[in-house]
Amino acid sequence: MKIRLRNIQKDVIFSFVFRPIFLFLVIFCLFSNVFAGEKMDFSMWESLPVMHEGRIMPMEAYARMLIGEKKLKFSLEASGLENMPAKMREIEAESKMSVDKYRRFTPSEMIFSWLVEPEMWMWIPFLSAENEELRRFLEVPIYGKSGKRLRHVSPYQLSEFYKSPKYQEFLKSVEKAREGSEKNEYPQEHKELIKELLILQEEEARFQAFCYRPEREEADRTDFLLNLMPIFQTWEDPGFQEMLSQTASVAGDMSSFEKLSQAMNALRTFSSKHAGDVMQDRPIYASLESLDEMARNLSQASSELQKHVNTRVDTIFASKERSGLTEEDLRQEQFFKLYMQNFVMQTRSVLYSLYDSPITLYVIPSLDPSPLDVRRNEAVKLHPWLSLNALLYGSMEGVLKGYPEEEVKVIRASYAEAVRAWKQRDSAGFQKSVQEFSERLRAAAEKIEPLRQELLPEKRRDREILENTAYPESVKLSREVYYYKLKPFWWAWVFPFIGMLFLCFSGILNFVVQTDKIGKEKQRSFFMNVLSRIRTFSFWLGFILLGIGLFETAYGLLLRGWIMERAPVTNSFETIVFVSLIAGLMGMWFTLRPVLDPFFHQGWQSTAFPWTSAGKSSGVISKVMFLPRLLCVAGIIWLFAIRGYGHGEGYNAIHLLPQVAVGASTPVLSDVIIWLSGILTLFILAWWVPRFLLVPVAGVVIMWTGALREENKEGLKDASEKAVTSHEKILQRNWFAVATAVSVFLISGAPFLFQEQFNQNLRNLMPILRDNYWLAVHVMVIVGSYGAGMLAWVFALFSLIIYTFGKYIKTEENTLRRSPPEICKTLSDLMYRCIQAATLMLVIGTILGGLWADVSWGRFWSWDRKEVWALITLFIYLAILHGRYVRLLGEFTLAIGSILGALAIITAWFGVNYFIGSALHAYGSGQQTSLIYFGIVASLNLLLIFVAILRYQISARHVE
């Protein structure tokens, strides 16, 4: 009968589980090629190098930063086309979109479509407008014909609204109200509406700037004219013109001065012609060829004169006699040289402004020497890379001077072919043309790289800028694209959530199995056996899912660190993720302690040095592990003290010898302290990390060798029985695993719930944070303490919930004395361990932070708000530990202290930067909604404490 039941179960499982999965896989494999054929391949476009905000990134990363975190799924519903059926049909055909169905875009696909068909996007509703008040003000529908809530508007709808009398009257009323207010603020009744409207206008302006097409006749040249104003002011200085004329005369090249005068006169004529348009805020139209010629003549003439100026000034300063020149005259000559350099940079800025908009796609290094000059004027914005517009439409005598002409022709042809293939939805042609475009870009960059190195004399080259702006390897960019495609932190949030559900289900079954009240006596063993197996399966499945989520977290952090070449704890998002990882690992350790403690103890002893007492007791295994430990020590020393980090030479995380400041003969006290802290850190890493790495290996070897011995059969039997017992103890700790999964889920989910506050994109660091050594030893230690504190917080919440709703048991000694559930004591022990770890790391991290401050700011402590709250948090945890040690705090009060300590951590972690404000540690910013959420969390915690105190005082008056 039992065999028959098993066969039936197998048939059922195969029919309802494996067969549908098998059929799905078959269908997917059969039709995967069909699905793939309908989609354009953007893999090559996604990996194209783009320079943005001082960092070279793949196009995919740039697209995500440009578009933001909005949902890239749109339809033509409520696009303003209801009265234009012909236009609607045209847009539907071009974009493969419809009114009823939504089409999903990838970020890279969307910005490519913006580039090549901006006219179509004028009609597509993709600008975020979710606010109902804003939609009523814009006079656009809130719900579509299908009944769905509309969340976007089109640029066409906005442009039509800007022409309406309603909008003009609104602007007049707002300006009138601002003029009447004391602080020139917006009227209170319109503040929220104006805020939403400004965000919408900024998004539209970003789109319009990105889609700027310089070759079109209707392109607005207002920015070009505005960039001429500083040049006109400089040129109108009579002394400047006189000095230039004298310099050209001395050099015997008056033609260069005449060319400059002619170029200035031509530009002055153009400016005078369109002065009225600027005053009335009308667009300025002119052909690209004529403006490029005028700007090119201006730039070339000023560059020729600059050579004469440099020669003249250098000759004067090289002369030993300097006859007839006073110190004041020499300063004037030097000032004139710098003034001329600034003028040349301004003329080049005018030339580039023909092609570049405020948001421009920079795709290849530039041959302009100005951004690479150590003496450059930072006020004049010249980019070290060339824009796509300049590459496609610039003249070979102007912005493309020095570039390989054949490569430029092929680049333009392949881009034009990619545009044609995209509009015709030719997937094969698009892939081929984009690949050729990418390859030719790289070939051109490799040819101009040696030219970039020779643009300036050796002493004038900014080596750091040259290295950071060199065309990158494709492997590095593919790595970043892979990171964005993988979305590791999304899965690091999803897997713990699913694991939490399975663990909760296992905990409920565990409670049922322990009560053993199902059915009659004959049925009880059968049902309990089934429930026990389901409980075990559910627990381990949930636990494994939690572990997978933590693995995804660690993998994602490693990818970010690998891509950016720094410790991945430099912003709010990374610290949150790191905290969830630390909390999860500690929670899993606490759950598995019945098994891991003896295993870890044996492995720890076996990895000791053979001549120590622990090593002698371990026998031959310690001798076997001696060589791997030495290799690990050597690897750590090489990694932290020998292998260089970042760009440049001679940079190590830890220095083996004290560093000496430039110009000094001996190290100062701060240098010695930093060196000692580094050596101490290196010693700790080299002493402890190899043992932690080798403990699992040693434990497996001990278990395997013990299992092979014939005389250890009885011991193996005892070990098997202990394993069964330990397994049951682990199942009894189910709610510890639940608490861990809850903490990981809540912490790692915060960046997805509050995306505006926690930006997930990879960005450059602030200069103060560009130190891998201090970033690793200070920030990672401090953030690790936050992880321990957060886990103690979740354990405390579980404990107070049990104190509030659990069943109190009468003691045998005194029937009036009742104690809370036994699990509260175990949770208290776990909280105490977490607080110990958090306090230790807080002490070490605070001291290291002071050393870093001494290096960066020249003082160990400055009483900045961040430092003050870190000290308050440390004092709170020290008070909790001392109170527990002298028995002033019991199990119940320890839970309350853990919550208060966690609130202090949140204040020091986010509150200072987001709400209170910090001068030296202002690395974040927040919104008013963030403060509201923080207040809600703090209030709920305090409410739980209050309710738990009432229940505890009523149910256990004399119990601690």
First vs last C-alpha separation in the chain: 55
Region at 147 (left for phi over 0; alpha for psi -120 to 50; beta for the rest): left
Predicted confidence at residue 27, as pLDDT, reads 39
* Spatial CB neighbours of 648, under 8 Å, sequence gap ≥ 6: 463, 464, 467
Asked if residues 691 and 629 have their Cβ atoms less than 8 Å apart, the reply is yes
Q: Is 821 exposed, middle or buried (0-12, 13-18, 19+ CB in 10 A)?
A: middle
pLDDT in tens, 833-865: 888 888 888 887 787 777 677 666 666 667 777
- How far apart CA 885 and CA 99 sit, in angstroms, is 69
- The model's pTM is 0.78
Burial class (CB in 10 A: 0-12, 13-18, 19+), 650: exposed
Q: How many CA atoms lie within 13 A of 958 on its CB side?
A: 8
- 222-235 and 254-273 helices, crossing angle to 10°: 130
Structure tokens, 234: 């400089």
At residue 944, the pLDDT reads 83
Contact 415, 391 (CB under 8 A): no
Interacting residues of 344 by C-beta distance below 8 A, sequence separation 6+: 299, 302, 303, 306, 370
Which residue in this structure is represented by tokens 């080798």? 694
Q: What is the pLDDT of residue 381?
A: 78
Nearest of 458, 459, 417 to residue 437 by alpha carbon: 417
**Whole-number Å distance between alpha carbons of 391 and 400:** 7
Per-residue pLDDT at 38: 47
Which two tokens mark 490? 């999304």
* Model pLDDT, residue 514: 65
Judged by DSSP in three states, 52 sits in strand
Structure tokens at 518: 């199902």
* 99, 76 contact by CB (below 8 A): yes
- Beta strand 103-104 pairing with 73-74: antiparallel
Half-sphere exposure (Cβ direction) of 391: Cα atoms closer than 13 Å: 30
Ranges under pLDDT 70 in the chain = 1-39, 69-71, 77-100, 178-188, 320-325, 513-527, 613-619, 643-654, 661-665, 670, 674, 681, 699-727, 755-757, 765-774, 810-818, 851, 854-861, 913-931, 956-960
Q: Mention every residue, 6+ apart, whose C-beta is less than 8 A from residue 732.
A: 510
Q: What are the tokens at 788?
A: 């321990």
pLDDT of 418: 92
